[in-house]
Structure formats: structure tokens, C-alpha cells
């Protein structure tokens, strides 16, 4: 158990809808990272938050957004969903002083 909690584990929704994925980082970790894992693109870094502020941005679509709350949990919002958004979404947490990030079990999103 990495100590990173993601909910829900599975999500099925229709095209055009909006969903919110939630991540609770490990105790003491200030950074949260979001990744998307799909069959064709592999694992891609989406975005990082550090202590409530956006710190780095990767290949995140404009339809997607994230935030980190004062209690350090984070939410990834995916809107106007398309079939191609079906993927496993991972959250990881870490601390800038650490050399590693700890990954959650992921949320499997299926868009139908």
C-alpha cells in the first residue's frame, strides 16, 4: 500500500459528460501529480500541484482541469468526455525533497 488513495476505482460514463476523480496524498506529501495511462499513449504526465498551487503542466487537455485543496487532497475534473478519454488515471504524491513519487491504484474511466 503506497498510502495514496484514489476514488472511485472504476467509473463508467457517457460521452459529453463530466467527471471528478479524487486523490488523497500520503500523509506529509505536499505534491500531487496526475497521470493518464492509455493503450495508445502509454503513461503521460498531466499536471502537478504543490501545496495548493499548480507547479508543472504536461500533456493535459483544455477540457481537463485539476485543483489541490487546503487539506492537500486533489481533484481532476474531466469534461466534455470523449471515447478516447477512456484510460487509467493515476495520482502520485511526493515531496520536493524526495527522490520518488508514490502512486495510487488508479481510477479506471470508461467512456461509452
Partner 1 sequence: GEDVEQSLFLSVREGDSSVINCTYTDSSSTYLYWYKQEPGAGLQLLTYIFSNMDMKQDQRLTVLLNKKDKHLSLRIADTQTGDSAIYFCAESRDGGSQGNLIFGKGTKLSVKP
Q: Exactly one of 31, 64, 76, 111 binds partner 1 (CB under 8 A); which one?
A: 31
**Contact call for residue 56 and partner 1 (CB under 8 A):** yes
107 binds partner 1 (CB under 8 A): no
**103: contact with partner 1 by CB under 8 A:** yes
94 is an interface residue for partner 1 by CB under 8 A: yes
Interface map 57-76 toward partner 1 (x if CB under 8 A): -x------------------
Contact 112, 13 (CB under 8 A): yes
Q: Among 3, 49, 5, 50, which residue's Cα sits nearest to residue 27?
A: 3
Q: What is the 3-state secondary structure (H, E, C) of 53-92?
A: EEEEECCCCCCEEEEECCCCCEEEEECCCCHHHCEEEEEE
Q: Check binding of 10 to partner 1 (CB under 8 A).
A: no
Does the footprint of partner 1 cover residue 48 (CB under 8 A)? yes
Query: Cα(89)–Cα(108) distance, rounded to whole angstroms?
Result: 6
Bridge partners of 38, per DSSP, are 42
Q: What is the total residue count of the chain?
A: 112
Which positions touch partner 1 (CB under 8 A)?
2, 4, 31, 33, 42-45, 48, 55-56, 58, 90, 92-94, 96, 98-106
Amino acid at each position: 500500500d503506497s498510502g495514496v488513495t484514489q476514488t472511485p476505482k472504476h467509473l463508467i460514463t457517457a460521452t459529453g459528460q463530466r467527471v471528478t476523480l479524487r486523490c488523497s496524498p500520503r500523509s506529509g506529501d505536499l505534491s500531487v501529480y496526475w497521470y493518464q495511462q492509455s493503450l495508445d499513449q502509454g503513461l503521460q504526465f498531466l499536471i502537478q500541484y504543490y501545496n495548493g498551487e499548480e507547479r508543472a503542466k504536461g500533456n493535459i487537455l483544455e477540457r481537463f482541469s485539476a485543483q489541490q485543496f487546503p487539506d492537500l487532497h486533489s481533484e481532476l475534473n474531466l469534461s466534455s468526455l470523449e471515447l478516447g478519454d477512456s484510460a487509467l488515471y493515476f495520482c502520485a504524491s511526493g515531496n520536493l525533497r524526495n527522490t520518488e513519487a508514490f502512486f495510487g491504484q488508479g481510477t479506471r474511466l470508461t467512456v461509452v
